[in-house]
Structure 1
Amino acid sequence: MKTTFNLTVIALKTKNKKQIAKNKKSIRRASKKRRSDRARIKRLKRKVTNLKQELKEEKSKNRPAFGGKKLKYHSYCTSIITLVLILYSETSMSLRDIESVLRAFIIHMQIEGRFPDHSTIDYWIKKAGMRAIKPFCENEPCVLIYDESISFNGKKLFLVLAVPTSISEKQKPLCFEDCHLVYLGAKKSWTGDVIHEELAPIVAKMDVQYILSDQDSNLIKATELLNIPQVFDITHKVAGTLKNS
């Protein structure tokens, strides 16, 4: 009995030693893995830091030239957008000409950053509504059509369209594509004096044959101040004739 007990004790001790050795081996392996993970985390942190620095440098290189307040959803500031629109509206430069001028200016002034290309400039011009105004030739004889339009935010819109007189030679009904936007303004009220003040500089540059409008007193007064013949539109003219008959 005693011999059997001793053998059992020896077997348990041997088993415990093996288990202890196995546990120590697992602990050493886990410790080694933790050290490896810590080293890997440090390497990743250094890599992230380097990437952030590279990204910062890349953004610095590719930032738009001409710093300033940016418009919402735009990469460029208001000053460069305004400059582009002025170059387009006040000169006969093409989109690529404007791009070349900006590039030369940035290089000459040693300004770092990117500049807008012709496609971006074209997008700005279309968004500003200038594409609809630019094609009309101011020296071409035309007829102006104007009237007060819808109310917007407590103000009335005043719309002025120009139609080349050459359209009448085609002997076809007037369509929207024949009209060119000349002026669109918003004020609380449009008197004859206000209309004259707004349109006088525009009309002075154009060859206006006559003005087409309804018989509103403010429009009649504005036309008289502009010293341009006025023709009433046929709808109002017929309605007025029927009313007075």
Structure 2
Amino acid sequence: MIWLCVYIYYQCQCSYRACSAIVAGSALLLGLRCRKPSASSIRNWVVKTGYYVYCQPPASGDWCLLVDESVSIGRERLLLILGVPLGGWGFSRPLSQQDTRVLYVGVAESWKSTAIEKELLALSKKLKVGYCLSDRGNNIVSAVKRAGMLHIHDCSHEWANHLETCYAGNEDFKGLMDKLCRVRKKWVLSKYSHLMPPKLRSKARFLNVFPLIEWIENILGAWGSVPPEAQEELSFLDTYKPQIEEWVVLKEVIKSMSLILKTEGMNKGTIDRCRSLLDIKCTIGATKEFSRLLQQSWEGYADCMEVEGSN
């Protein structure tokens, strides 16, 4: 009964009450004699299962640590460290949540580099750390270096940082985003709400700017079917056509590099393929500067790829 409830919860991704109803209905159909489990009991079993998995000793071999600090939870912040055993990882597909294991979860009012270093060193006594992966948070980067571990920047954050360097002060980009924001506010409860642009985050906006670029592509591609009144509201898009073309190029390049690096990992072969892609596609305007910044950041990994000889 316990195993069935936990299995249904994880595999069907439904609520505790839905799990209870599924088990009761299955028992009725199959003629099983059992009481209907309560939602609170199923939650208790799921929590205990998670804690049991968390307490299991780590596998032998090298591990990759994924370190991140969350946004504030009230006055406190969450530090999460996930681990990926590299021994059985073949770099044949993108990483998923099922491939990771929770190694540490901690809550504190602040996470300074010394506190993060302490937890990293504690983990290094339990398992062999190959390298750590994170964004460019100063406290995390400092903690990894102080712990004497190899640090690799997350490629998505790396790309977003370079995009911000290229476009944060760009007046054309600011103007386009401002006008799209006005259109969104105007259309939110109108008859054109199905056409309004997606929301752009105020923080880390360069991490999710490409859905907005895809929306612009779709609108321009179906311009003939857009109502005349909406066309008039969106007429400013033609003014920013050169900038939009740059973003479309960057979107396609980053999508291709993401497929390469997140599937096959970072090594000499994949980096060379990404360099070729950048040299061919990113040749004008801010795309050229993005290519320069990104290839320059890869130079910092040349020594470790030479030593490791692998991903």
TM-score, with normalisation over the residues of structure 2? 0.36
TM-score, with normalisation over the residues of structure 1? 0.45
Structure ID, larger Rg: 1
